[in-house]
Structure 1
Amino acid sequence: MAPITTNTFVENAAGNDDPPAPVKGLRRLMWWIVPANLGIFLIWGAVPGILLPQQIAVLFGEENKLATYSVIATIGAFAAMVAQPIAGQISDRTRSRYGRRAPWIMLGALAGALALVGLAFASSVVGLIIAWTLVQISYNFAQGPLSAVMPDRVPLKRRGTFAALSGIGLMVGAIGGQIVGSFFFHSITLGYIVFAVFAVVILGLFVAFNPDYPSTKLEREPFSFREFLSTFWVNPVKHPDFFWAFTGRLLLYTGYFAVTGLQLYLLTDYFGVESPESVIPLLGMLSLVGIIISTLVSGPLSDKVGRRKPFVFASAAVVSLAFLLPWFWQDLNAWMIMTFIAGFGFGMFQAVDQALMSEVLPSAKSFAKDLGVVNIAATLPQTLAPGVAGAIALAFGYAALFPVAIVLGILGALAVWPIKATR
């Protein structure tokens, strides 16, 4: 049987079909996805988790920081929600000698670097909103096409392992960003510049060492404004698995990041830590150890047993139990224990989540667009959850965050149950 070509795959395949082999081999791609995700998610960990809230506290004072941060984070989150599916559709329709994804990965990284520099020098609420919104749009234009690499190039039987490696880059970036960001606690401008340069270099190397097939021979589809508007919609009746996968990810991510995304203010205002920058690196390491252990075990194990759902259910249970600790025990030790246990639980979910998502995509013609839609469920909580959590904390106190997060996590796991495309 002749090997499938890129043109044939794009025209006829869905997410549960095997794609053509990568140009430079699967092994190279699998290892390079770790630093590629790291380059983007270091920014998602450091900026909204450390640098931006500290910048706001310095500029506007302790009494105004929470409300100001909530507004800025919420507006930026909606920009991310709009940007990634649009970037995905543009990427799907791109015809170039470098393929459909590489041009936008690089343009997003370069534009994001400029936006981070602008954020570093912003000194008003309006300036911060504009700069942070541009950061969100730019890096989501890189992240959307990057997420399509799995269904574009990775066979079904290796997606659990690929998702685990991708998840390591993602979570090491998100948590490690807080660790590294804490080193720039008193040098915010330098921190922004360092993260901007790192992302450009790493994503540039990913594109250079993992070339894609040219997309110049793919048929050009006529532009339709109605189709463009459909960027933000996948029919839940026609594609129920996609709907349930989206809902499950949205709820699970929102629950997790509603607590962890507000860590800086929880440490200072809930636990009374006077120098949070001295504690954050240790907390980050505890979380990373838990995440890496569970991710490395869960991803390959899910490939071996051919099941994804049990890992999602176990993840929700472990994270929910972890959040009980700081809710009933208002002490820094409880937060440290919770950080490790919750990291372990969330790593289980992250290890299989991308593989599960890739298997419910409707068509290879729109992988990046559909992943852009479903990635709203990952990106939006990481940026919106701190803002929503800030509003909850303002209204009901910080302790109210924990039961809300527990309920969301359990509902997210239950949402995965009806999916039929994967077990």
Structure 2
Amino acid sequence: MSMSPDVSPVTAPGAPISARISAPAGPALMPFLALINFAIVSAGLGFTAVLLPNQLTLLDADNKVSNLALVSSVSILAAVIVQPLVGALSDRTRSRWGRRSPWMLAGGLLMAAALSGIGLLQSVALILLLACLVQTGSALIGAPLAAIMADRYEVNRRGMVSAFIGLGLNCGYAAGVIIAGVLAFNLPLAYASFGAGLALLVISFLVVARDRPNTEMVLEPFSFGKFLLSFWINPVKHPNFAWAFVSRFLFILAFFIFQSYLFFIMSDYIGLSLTETNALIGLTGAASILPAIIAGYTTGWLSDKLGRRKIFLYIACGFTGAGYTVLIASPTVPALFVMTVLVGIGFGMYLASDAVIMTQVLPNLEGSAAKDLGILNLATLIGQSAAALVAAFAINLLGGYVSMFFVAIGIAVLGAVAVVPIRGVR
């Protein structure tokens, strides 16, 4: 197995790479794409939205907002660096298990080990270090995983594939906060449970989604200079790619401004106790599951049938803004649940459309899908990283949580505007 850029002789410099290097999708792959996304997101969000705020509150309650921003933003920067590199390397990986599986296995084991260890720590600095390893492991899984839809499905099936991925993501967001809220009384147990569960589900996915060997795949000779230059995608030459990046960044930023600080919204803005927050935070996730699933499936089916993707992104941004407006008007638990449902609908619609658009704006679908999707996924990672900083800035310097919600609404609107210039996608 080779997991590094191939430097052995090839048949011909510049030979084209087949669009069907990977095996066509089997019937079990689609539901297992939902399962693996469920595993990654539930572990990641259980960590960042519930367990980490609990841990930082217990360590230093006076500086919890700033410490959460520090750990969240800096750790995600590790994934920002790793993800496109791993995407590019996986495009060139030749092994008995295909291009993607070796990287995903390594990422799953690293993320699981780091999660299991973090619950034993009593230092913000050490928590930050292991949080960086958690995000690195997530990037090792995420970059190859993002390419599987483009590798193994035709474009006219990707709407439904995207709906399944959205199903996994939305259930994962809910399950992550539910499980973390239930186990938050014992942080070491909670972290270890997420680590073990993630490792098991990643291995299960790789068994079911087994790819064919690609040891005979033809590659251009490796050039470090060309490798580095490949990460620059000219926004003038590829404007659709650039606008898709901007739109995703803005929407993810708007969503995670709320999601990153949900724990503190409940405790500081609504005024719940620590015990009440842990008890209710899981219920907010549960409240969003069914609306998000219905929205995702309806959007996936309609977008494939109508051949239209962009309209659903506009509607998704509208639901997100409406949800934040409700909580501005009424800082109460009922309003929190209404907001959760509205934002969940918006997020479900967004996921079902955005993932398909990403595969339709790639400059080189056949030869560099994982690398290019890894670059697009930087929009997600940078959006998540920036969300904690933007939220902390709004809370501390712009007038509190109401200001934070207004900032998030404005960003969501800009995300919808950024979709308009994307051409070739209806």
Identity %: 35
Gaps of 5+ in 2: 1-10
Aligned to 2:7: none
Does structure 2 retain, via aligned residues, the 8 Å contact 1:23–1:210? no
1:398 aligns with 2:397: no
Q: CA RMSD in A?
A: 1.9
1:26–1:154 Cα contact (<8 Å) kept: no
- Structure 1 letter corresponding to 2:35: P
Aligned match of 1:81: 80
Letter in 2 for 1:319: T
Tell me which residue corresponds to 1:333.
334
- Stretch moving more, 265-274 or 120-129: 120-129
Note the alpha carbon deviations across 1:332-357, whole angstroms, 9 max, x for none. 22111111111111211111111110
Q: Which residue of 1 aligns with 2:417?
A: 414
Deviation at residue 190 of structure 1 after TM alignment: 1.0
1:272-421 matched pairs, under 5 angstroms? 272-274=271-273, 275-363=276-364, 364-396=366-398, 397-421=400-424
Could you tell me how far 1:12 is from its partner in structure 2?
Answer: 4.7
Distance 1:135 1:48 in 2: 11
Which amino acid is 1:180 matched to? I
Number of residue-to-residue matches in the alignment: 410
**Aligned pair 1:253/2:252, yes or no?**
yes
Q: 1:380 to 1:191 in 2, by over 3 A?
A: farther
- Contact 1:46–1:181, Cα closer than 8 Å, also in 2: yes
Show the 5 A alignment for 1:29-40: 29-40=29-40
* Change over 3 Å in CA distance of 1:20–1:194 after alignment to 2: same
Change (3 A) 1:78 1:245: same
Q: How does 1:126-145 map to 2 (within 5 A)?
A: 126-145=125-144
Q: Structure 1 counterpart of 2:193, which letter?
A: V
- How do 1:87-236 residues align onto structure 2 when only pairs under 5 Å count? 87-230=86-229, 232-236=231-235
CA contact (8 A) 1:89 1:366 kept: yes
Tell me how far apart the structure 1 counterparts of residues 373 and 45 of structure 2 sit (CA, whole Å): 21
Deviations 1:213-247 (A, max 9, x none): 32211123333333343354321111111111111
**Does the Cα contact within 8 Å between 1:99 and 1:214 map onto a contact in 2?**
yes
CA distance 1:412–1:12, change in 2 (3 Å): farther
- Change in Cα spacing, 1:137 to 1:21, as seen in structure 2 (3 Å) is closer
Match of 1:3 in 2: none
- The amino acid of 1:408's aligned partner reads I
* Structure 2 match to 1:4: none
Residues 47-62 of structure 1 mapped to structure 2, 5 A cutoff? 47-60=47-60, 62=61
Contact residue 291 and residue 344 of structure 2 kept, 8 A: yes
Partner amino acid for 1:400?
S
Give, as a single letter, the amino acid of the residue that structure 2 aligns with 1:388: V
For residues 153-212 of structure 1, the C-alpha deviation after alignment (integer angstroms, 9 at most, x for no partner) is 011110000001011112221232111111121111111111111111111111111111
Q: Tell me, what secondary structure is at the counterpart of 2:27?
A: helix
Distance 1:420 1:79 in 2: 32
Partner Cα distance (2:289, 2:101) in 1 = 29
Q: How many angstroms apart in 2 are the aligned matches of 1:111 and 1:231?
A: 27
- Residue deviations 1:310-340, cap 9 Å, x none? 0001111111111111112222221111111
Q: Quote how far apart the aligned CAs of 1:27 are.
A: 2.3
Q: 8 Å contact 2:35–2:201 — kept in the other structure?
A: yes
Are the structure 2 counterparts of residues 175 and 391 from structure 1 closer, same or farther at C-alpha, using a change threshold of 3 Å?
Answer: farther
Could you tell me which amino acid in structure 1 is paired with residue 257 of structure 2? A
Q: Which one-letter code corresponds to 2:373 in the other structure?
A: L
Measured in 1, the distance between the counterparts of 2:222 and 2:118 equals 35
Deviations 1:262-283 (A, max 9, x none): 1000000000011101111221
1:395 maps to a residue whose letter is L
Residue 11 and residue 121 in structure 1: after superposition, are their counterparts in 2 closer, same or farther (change >3 A)?
farther
Give 5+ residue unaligned stretches, structure 1: 1-6
Counterpart AA for 1:226: G
Could you say if the C-alpha distance between residues 51 and 383 of structure 1 is closer, same or farther in structure 2, counting changes exceeding 3 Å?
farther
Q: TM-score, with normalisation over the residues of structure 2?
A: 0.92
| Superposed structure 1 runs of 4+ greater than 4 Å apart | 10-14
Greater CA deviation, 20-29 or 118-127?
A: 20-29
Determine if contact 1:45/1:176 at 8 Å carries over to the other structure. Answer: no
Q: Is the 8 A contact 2:15 2:220 kept in 1?
A: no
Equivalent-residue separation in structure 2 for 1:339 and 1:370 (angstroms): 32
Whole-angstrom CA distance in 2 between matches of 1:281 and 1:77: 24
CA distance in 2, matches of 1:332, 1:226: 55
CA contact (8 A) 1:48 1:383 kept: no
> What letter matches 1:356 in structure 2?
I
TM-score of the superposed pair, with normalisation by structure 1: 0.93
Partner of 1:43: 43
8 Å contact from structure 1 (residues 74, 388) kept in 2: no
The Cα offsets for residues 2-46 of structure 1, whole Å up to 9 and x where unpaired, read as: xxxxx9xx96579xxxx5497474422111101011111112210
Relative to structure 2, which stretch is displaced further, 305-314 or 410-419? 410-419
Contact 1:122/1:131, CA 8 A, preserved across alignment: no
